[in-house]
Structure 1
């Protein structure tokens, strides 16, 4: 019913613009979600009729034009298998067969392409009405609420280790993981946001040894995470010579067992084994550390507007699933004993590049790899997920290949098909540029302080925003979110730059907030809260720079779809910067017009007719809605305007 009503409304709008209805139907098209699909459908239908080719083939031959092409859609003529002349003459032959329509201007021949530009006479009426009807739903994949069964996806991200440094990989995982989860939710999936803590194993054993040597109840009560981090740093420093001796012995081809039976090695392994065996004292310590860590991170994630549905961890891998993994791998001849440890020799069973991995050490303790394999089985039983993604640094590529391959050895091919490692490149230079930062709270405090300093500086005198701690928090996170999301593919590494972190120049988070604040200020100046679309005179929006903004707004659903399919939140960020650039052009034109009139007159369209002011205000409000929708996916909160 909802779909029928929406199609009826859309076709009534098109009919009023002089466009023949019903809209041509194509399987690939989604005219209720993507307005540019309306143009694609009509162009494919027209192409089929005037060139006498298959309509489905025509639809496939239409692609969105590149920004530099100065057009909206491109028809790639060789894909139509049409024409017998020389390839260079195809466009000229085809051009003469097309007429202008209410939706398109005459095409532009370009080699083997025909480039089409949307008619500026109907573009504002169609696109602005389309966005206005959908509002917060514009660009969402769950628009047809209740008409399809949602799928469940688990997104694992952030995943810090207990009491150790929160590094740049954790921060990038936190930001990109939250954005990927938002993309899936935007596309209509039921999303489980999971934080898989490094809360078990030998690193916790080492922390336990450190607590015995350096722990202070008073220091723990005052600053649990800070004290635990200090303990870990101290014990790790003491442990370093032993680790180096073991590494050197291994590299020289010697047995490391004798070294690892002594000193901190032995203390660490004994503590870990007692944890595995459920000894009360060790479990009590582990639980205390885990609870303190989760309490700390829940508070810090809240400052980022990030919430998790589940704090899981290595410790949560069930004994039953661990036993199942070991039993099945043994039965299939994959699991074997080697010098007291239990291993998988991937080089024997393929692929050789994965080498040999220990699943259970000679002391009987389980490895990170074994617990990760078991965790997949546990999560599948608990959630019956359709997809599970690990948003983790590319450094862990080999680890996840081992997890997936072990499951294949177990005969779990169908389960492996649901798993994906969403990797990302390194963010280099965080600790060098931010100074002595160790935990998430330290990183946030530093970025918020920098943002606060900028808000109090001369740079922001013109900003109509509340220069409060809340604004500094929003600006600080916006800066981090945009820099760690990045404008290039997530697999690319980048150098963290604290100088541009809170800069209002260039493609930065603060500059995006600046454009948004200026946009809101213009809307506020117009004093036309009750604008009605039916009253708009669209002739005032049929020229640049207005039409360029509308064109970009129309592309938003296509961008969100592409970002969702490729797991690339950076595509949303790049889009918002492009939109902000064009919106800024409009705002600057308004200011220039105001400057030409009486001194001090800089309101929207000074001395322009009320119809022009109304049309511009409607455009600005709908542009703000698109900003809101895109920023929500990136986890960015718009800054609050001052009253």
Structure 2
């Protein structure tokens, strides 16, 4: 609808503005009495050398198209009312699951990325579910998406863990409960190191042995990695998340010298207090540290190696990194180095930052053992959903399957309904709510639509007629925006746009359900059922993009 209106305005203005400039300013009025869309004439003030109110008055009678029933000046705006007959027929006949564009481009997306030998905590949830949703949006918008889990499996923390295992660990305890035992050792190391500072050097020594290929150190590291990945898979299965590659930091060990050579060849590496850096004064950034004075590589070196590997292997058109906001400077430096090296694809790599999940107003700390285990939270929400079903619909089929869909959906939606850049305070009570602005509310609305369609399936159908009453119009206006919402969510890398839209559709549809006798036998019955079907399809499709299942019964 917006594009069609934009084309009419563009034609009427006779090229005074570009089509994109017009599309950028068309808006939906806050109050529905002002119409369906508004065009602010401020953007024409400089062109016509008149005040916006005068421009609106002069233009209001010049829009001639059957798609518009009214164009009225209101202050500096022109408010448009659309032809409900035309919009309704298009909505009822075409709205449904968003048709994916032909996949002609490649996008890599790096998300989740937990550290091995540490529990999968609530702190890892945001990257995982935001990344999954953006990956799904990318697929709908014409990309072959490569999902990458850049596991944290290298660095001095593994020297610390090996030192802790050698001092206090035993094989049987790790085999019996791998992640919990390794995590206990990691926390104990930091507690002891606060008292006995020589432990820090011991940890560094073990990491040096690991880097040098020491057999004992490598054997333990590989074991820790294997049991960690097995544990992660259990959580990913609960969330319905899959990856195409698990190439972690260690994968790039043999590619680091190539990065140093490339930088050396281009004369970009400089000595700084014994370390090797790439100066970035040209873009007002601190120097990017490539090698420390002892020759050790850093995150930047590995992320450069990963960027080049992904470009060469996947030939991406777009490469995304869904990593916390605290890493923003790091990625600015890495991307600036790629640009300074002369590679034009630096403009195709993007950091997608997000805020923290806080506990009592503070970031969760793995080192201090202050975390909330994600798997525990998932199981608690599923259990709460099961109890809710037992109380409200004890005869429901597939209760366990529905409880899992509702419990996991509650967690994912609770995250994705928030703007990704905001911090979220962890609250199990909030996640366990099944009413209001929640995933279960959207799922229940979908189930309600399915129920109506089941009840209406045996009723004799009539031909499709336009629905032009006020209640139907509010639903249809929203439904025809679905494709635009998908595009906007992807372009802004913000799944909350889609999540909020699904909440809006649910609220408006439930209002429609309360005010209109949908199954009443009259000439518009077929059209009303088609409208219900469109709502069902949009809710199911939108939830699936967010990584949430849509049960047909709840």
TM-score, normalized by length of structure 2? 0.89
Residue of structure 2 equivalent to 1:399: 330
How far did 1:418 drift?
2.1
The number of residue pairs the alignment matches comes to 545
* Aligned partners of 2:26 and 2:37 also within 8 Å: yes
Give the 5 Å matches for 1:409-558.
Answer: 409=340, 411-429=341-359, 438-457=372-391, 461=392, 466=397, 468-487=399-418, 489-528=419-458, 535-538=463-466, 541-558=467-484
Residue of structure 2 equivalent to 1:41: 7
Q: Distance in 2 between matches of 1:380 and 1:350?
A: 25
* Aligned partners of 2:288 and 2:334 also within 8 Å: no
Of 276, 287, 296, the residue aligned with 1:343 is 276
How far did 1:200 drift?
0.8
1:160 aligns with 2:114: yes
Of 173, 177, 180, the residue aligned with 1:219 is 173
Q: 1:121 to 1:367 in 2, by over 3 A?
A: closer
1:180 aligns with 2:141: no
* Aligned partners of 1:330 and 1:336 also within 8 Å: no
How far did 1:565 drift?
0.9
How far did 1:116 drift?
0.8
Q: 1:87 to 1:296 in 2, by over 3 A?
A: closer
How far did 1:567 drift?
0.6
Residue of structure 1 equivalent to 2:220: 285
**Which range moved further: 427-436 or 122-131?**
427-436
Deviations 1:487-506 (A, max 9, x none): 3x321223233222121332
**Which range moved further: 446-455 or 290-299?**
446-455
Aligned Cα root-mean-square deviation (Å): 3.0
* Aligned partners of 2:111 and 2:148 also within 8 Å: yes
* Aligned partners of 1:545 and 1:586 also within 8 Å: yes
Q: Distance in 2 between matches of 1:357 and 1:293?
A: 30
Tell me which of the two structures has the higher relative contact order, counting C-alpha pairs closer than 8 angstroms and 6 or more residues apart: 2
Q: 1:102 to 1:401 in 2, by over 3 A?
A: closer
Q: Distance in 2 between matches of 1:271 and 1:530?
A: 76
* Aligned partners of 2:406 and 2:440 also within 8 Å: yes
Q: 1:283 to 1:552 in 2, by over 3 A?
A: same
Gaps of 5+ in 2: none
Q: Distance in 2 between matches of 1:227 and 1:309?
A: 29
How far did 1:266 drift?
2.5
How far did 1:312 drift?
1.2
Residue of structure 2 equivalent to 1:66: 28
1:309 aligns with 2:275: no
How far did 1:586 drift?
1.3
Of 65, 70, 77, the residue aligned with 1:113 is 77
Residue of structure 1 equivalent to 2:201: 266
Query: 3-state DSSP class of the match of 1:61?
Result: helix
How far did 1:80 drift?
5.0
Query: 3-state DSSP class of the match of 1:105?
Result: strand
**Which range moved further: 175-184 or 427-436?**
427-436
TM-score, normalized by length of structure 1? 0.78
Deviations 1:147-186 (A, max 9, x none): xx61111100011001124344421111111111111111
* Aligned partners of 1:463 and 1:514 also within 8 Å: no
Q: Distance in 2 between matches of 1:185 and 1:469?
A: 30
Of 286, 290, 311, the residue aligned with 1:380 is 311
**Which range moved further: 561-570 or 506-515?**
506-515
Of 284, 291, 311, the residue aligned with 1:359 is 291
Of 146, 154, 157, the residue aligned with 1:203 is 157
Deviations 1:356-396 (A, max 9, x none): 7462352x443333222222222222222222111001011
How far did 1:542 drift?
1.1
Q: 1:98 to 1:418 in 2, by over 3 A?
A: closer
* Aligned partners of 2:268 and 2:278 also within 8 Å: no
How far did 1:521 drift?
1.6
Residue of structure 2 equivalent to 1:54: 15
Residue of structure 1 equivalent to 2:541: 629
Q: Distance in 2 between matches of 1:44 and 1:206?
A: 65
Give the 5 Å matches for 1:16-165.
Answer: 35-45=1-11, 47-48=12-13, 53-54=14-15, 57=18, 60-61=21-22, 63-70=25-32, 71-77=35-41, 79-80=43-44, 87-98=52-63, 101-131=65-95, 135-138=96-99, 140=100, 142=101, 145=102, 150-165=104-119
Residue of structure 2 equivalent to 1:323: 257
How far did 1:429 drift?
2.0
How far did 1:305 drift?
1.1
How far did 1:127 drift?
1.9
Q: Distance in 2 between matches of 1:76 and 1:57?
A: 15
* Aligned partners of 1:90 and 1:111 also within 8 Å: no
Q: 1:85 to 1:181 in 2, by over 3 A?
A: closer
Q: 1:638 to 1:530 in 2, by over 3 A?
A: farther
Query: 3-state DSSP class of the match of 1:158?
Result: coil
**Which range moved further: 511-520 or 489-498?**
489-498
How far did 1:437 drift?
5.5
Query: 3-state DSSP class of the match of 1:163?
Result: coil
Gaps of 5+ in 1: 1-34, 246-262, 594-603
Residue of structure 1 equivalent to 2:144: 190
**Which range moved further: 232-241 or 627-636?**
232-241
How far did 1:120 drift?
1.8
User: Which one has a bigger Cα radius of gyration?
Assistant: 1
Q: Distance in 2 between matches of 1:59 and 1:292?
A: 52
Q: Distance in 2 between matches of 1:565 and 1:56?
A: 23
**Which range moved further: 220-229 or 87-96?**
87-96
* Aligned partners of 1:465 and 1:639 also within 8 Å: no
1:618 aligns with 2:520: no
How far did 1:568 drift?
0.9
Give the 5 Å matches for 1:6-25.
Answer: none
**Which range moved further: 519-528 or 176-185?**
519-528
